[in-house]
Structure 1
């Protein structure tokens, strides 16, 4: 058993960086190093790693290079965790010089040493660890959260910027609650000074930075869009004023009465009704149109059945409109042109999206090569400012 006096001298010399005294004690009795323990079940390497004295750490590692690194305190942390939490880069390099395994040990609730760096705002130790443990960046804790989730939750803008701009994280992932870091950000206060920049950074990782806004339309909005489609369909089948019940020399049974009594007004009504139906159908399609990757066969079957159903209601709508429209008011060319123009608009939006993503790829490549990215960066930022405006208009 180590005498209390020797134990106190060891502790004081390690915490104060008194290398001479510490080295003298260790030389007199090398077994002191791995025999002594302190409060919170910490050993000398814990104490030295927390204090930040590299020379003390080197002495301890020289005397007991293996077992000291694996020793965990009452919080489940080994000396590597302590050094990372305290931001001691040089000590961390010493501890990981010959063995990276202690850095892979999980903490409470499955958190990694990277989670610990983020929680305590230690960007420099995070950088070092990611250089040595790159694959650990995707690790999730027991709540399914990556270090990006945690960086957003703790408002660590420097961490978020580093993870995104250095391409350490390639895409947003869901935690166990189905929320991405972007979802967590938007649930927090949007009045912070870093909100706008953090949002712009996270949008770069979105799988579809522009079209994703359509998938975030609220349930209430979807109900309204579906109601518009249903009303438009009903109006096509049973137009205002009803339909003629019998055949005469001036009209045919089943044709719209309004087309005979107010032909100009009926043409306007028909075009507006068709526009409402097609546009609402397109909104529903945009919201639902997500290829179900990694989905079960049952889910894929439901998804494709939905698409078939939507196509069928379009055909039904067209058949109903032909049935109720008199021959003299039927303008299929105009209807086709209107539908085509809507699709052309969608194609143009997709083309712009692809072009901007190409610009973004160029920007990332230049960033990695440390070249001048001023122009590309400005274009990219303008694009995301425009996207945020569109998103707020659509969602709100």
Structure 2
């Protein structure tokens, strides 16, 4: 039995028999630039155990392209071998970014087919894979629109706007204004598709530049005006959404609708972003951009402020003994304080902290 047959049947015993006969058999395959490796065959057939054995013996096979320009993960996606895709991802998270034929990565392929569950796993494993582009300069967002995967597009937009890792704000602005091979941004594509809700979703993002021109030297507004001359009222709705949208009306609309409760991560990411989320995402992003020394200084200041506030709460003005206590209690307390001066010292120390709290508060 040759290696191809062994991979198709998932026969790991036959694999090791082939290695015993020729210890360099896997190395010989690896030296061929474009070849169907046993891992490619196992991936297309869904032979998980065999595929994991090959991944252990020859990890480089996972990034190799066959004669058709596909990696094993591409083939697993093509044939719906979802469990095998996730197992490959566990071993090497970077496989999400390996580009095959046409510059299409596994993330692009999952986007094209609207595989939201896989997209969640891909972005969790490798967040920066969202910035990869195909040979046609299409991002995953462009691919979603071109294939009319609007739910997928909404998910990707939501994920991008909620991200708060280092350079997240820069990445959001870059991708939302990215131009494909024809110079079209996401806003251009949404207008060309005559999809008002998609246009609304895009213009909700304040980092979107509505004045970018495509290869035909047209902005999104100019595209709409051209369509209006040809007739139809759908374009008028889109024009109104673009031209009349402002930050004030956007904030008012978001405040009037609270953040919905969502049961799943993919649903939450696709949901509308509230004004409160926008605030803390902004703060987190700014915090991530700070240097380590600045961040440490802020943490020290915050800790001191919290400590001072806590100590002030433990030592309120007038002490913990109240005037309405009965005589017996007051007498017992006096004897306790006299016999144990350390408690008095503790009160004085607490009062000192309380004074520090007043100084920080500026009173």
TM-score, L = length of structure 1: 0.47
Larger radius of gyration: 1
Aligned mates of 1:205, 1:112 — CA distance in 2: 26
SS of aligned partner of 2:65: coil
After superposition, the Cα gap between the structure-2 partners of 1:143 and 1:12, relative to the gap in structure 1 and judged at 3 Å, is same
Pair 1:363 & 2:259 matched: yes
1:287-338: per-residue Cα shift (whole Å, max 9, x none)?
8xxxxxxxxxxxxxxxxxxxxxxxxxxxxxxxxxxxxxxxxxxxxxxxxxxx
Structure 1 position 200, deviation (Å): 4.3
Cα deviation, 1:151-181, whole Å, max 9, x if unaligned, reads 1001123321321344468452231433222
RMSD after superposition: 4.5
What is the deviation of 1:142? 3.7
Cα deviations across residues 44-70 of structure 1 (Å, max 9, x unaligned)? Answer: 1001111222122123223x2323223
Query: Which residue is 1:341 aligned to?
Result: none
**CA 367–124 in structure 1, closer or farther in 2 if over 3 Å, else same:** closer
- Looking at structure 2, the residues matched to 220 and 104 of structure 1 have their Cα atoms a distance apart, in angstroms, of 35
Out of 119, 122, 138, the position equivalent to 1:145 is 138
C-alpha change, 1:184 and 1:65, in structure 2 (3 Å) is same
CA contact (8 A) 2:40 2:72 kept: yes
Number of residue pairs matched?
232
SS state at 1:96 partner:
helix
Q: TM-score, normalised by structure 2?
A: 0.50
Determine the structure 1 residue equivalent to 2:228: none
Task: Give the secondary-structure state (helix, strand or coil) at the position aligned to 1:29.
Answer: helix
**What residue number does 1:179 align with?**
184
Residues 33 and 60 in structure 1, CA contact (< 8 A), matched pair in contact too: no
**Cα drift, residue 86 of structure 1:** 3.7
**Cα pair 2:110 2:118 within 8 Å, conserved:** yes
Trace 1:1-396 onto structure 2 (pairs within 5 A): 6-7=1-2, 10-15=3-8, 18-19=9-10, 22-30=11-19, 31=23, 35=28, 41-62=35-56, 64-167=57-160, 170=172, 172-176=176-180, 177-188=182-193, 190=194, 195=195, 197-205=197-205, 207=207, 217-218=221-222, 351-358=248-255, 363=259
Deviation at 1:351, TM superposition (A): 3.4
Q: Return 5+ residue gaps in structure 1 as ranges.
A: 1-5, 222-285, 288-345, 381-396
Once residues 45 and 349 of structure 1 are traced to their aligned partners in structure 2, the CA distance between those partners, rounded to angstroms, is 53
The 1-side partners of 2:27 and 2:102 are apart by 28
Any stretches of 5+ residues in structure 2 without a counterpart? 164-171, 213-218, 226-241, 276-363
Change (3 A) 1:49 1:353: same
Q: Distance in 1 between matches of 2:262 and 2:113?
A: 28
- Contact preservation (8 Å) 2:64, 2:71: yes
